[in-house]
Structure formats: C-alpha cells, structure tokens
Amino acid sequence: MLRDSGTLDNIIAHSVAVTDIAMELGRAMAARGEKVDLRLLEAGSLLHDIGKTEGLKGGHESEVSHGDIGAEMLNKMGYRRLAEIARAHMFSKIFEKGALDTWEKKLVYYADKRVNHDKRVRLSERLDYLTNRYPRGAEMFRKARPMLLRMEKEIFEKAGMTI
C-alpha cells in the first residue's frame, strides 16, 4: 500500500522503525494481558504516514495535515480503524481529549515520537529536533514534553519494561 501510494523510501524506512518500537511495546503489553490488537497495531504503524508524500507534493503544511490526508486515503480504501490511527498520530493530538483513546493509537503516536528519520532516539532528542526544525511549534513541543513523559511512563509500566 505504501508503494502503491508512491510513498518515498525515507518515509517507508521511518515507518518500519516506528513499527518496530510500537510492536515491541505492544507485544510486551499483550503478553501482560493488556488489550492490544497487534495486527491492527502493525498495519497502523506501517501506514501512519501514508499521507505524508501526498502532503509534501501538494505543498501542504505537511506537519499539520498529513495525518488527515492519510486518514482520507485509508477511509477511501475502507480501512476506518487504520484511518483513525493515521489521524491520531499528529503531534497536537496529545492535547485533544479522547484523541488517543486506544492502545493502538497511543502506541503509534508514542513510537513515532521515538524515531528521528529512521533512527531510534529518546523522547528528549526527538523533541529537540522538532523544536529546531519547526520553531513555530516550540511552545507546543514544550507544553507536550511532560505529557509525553507521562505517556511513556504509562506505556512502559503496562509493558513491564524500563525506559
């Protein structure tokens, strides 16, 4: 699906790295009895940026809209739950009550914040990178930091893992 939609190689590499993290955590959580749909999680993390190439091509403000573009593409293909995951991975969703209401959405959201390009990094490194790359979002990234750290703690506790 990524190839068919013309997704750039670097975005595919990013998506695979995000999927590795999401699945590692998701599997550990599922093994401890949390309700995580691992098939949905895998497809959702692989496809969360399916709208990104289209967003870049269209000259959209990609960081604002590629989640919605991806959701629209996935909805058109009939994948409603995957569409919800793509829509929910955008950075600002952490401030939206109820936007991250399933483990699959939350894990894709979180794993995406642990990868820079295709490299696994700590949250703080990713936040620093984003602040440099998108200075207009600096305030948002600053506000999100403690919330992301709380989310990280919650996920790792449920997974029985140390950060």
Q: Where along the sequence are the contacts to Fe ion (CB under 5 A)?
A: 49
Q: Any idea which residue has 């940026």 for tokens? A: 49
Relative orientation angle of helices 80-88 and 103-112, to the nearest 10 degrees: 40
- In whole angstroms, the minimum distance from the beta carbon of 49 to Fe ion comes to 4
**Chain residue whose CB lies nearest Fe ion:** 49
Nearer to Fe ion, 36 or 112 (CB): 112
- In whole angstroms, the minimum distance from the beta carbon of 44 to Fe ion comes to 12
Nearer to Fe ion, 25 or 113 (CB): 113
Looking at residue 90, what DSSP letter applies? S
From 95, 103, 151, 104, select the one nearest 123 (Cα to Cα): 151
Q: Any idea which residue has 């995406």 for tokens? A: 112
- In whole angstroms, the minimum distance from the beta carbon of 106 to Fe ion comes to 15
Nearer to Fe ion, 49 or 54 (CB): 49
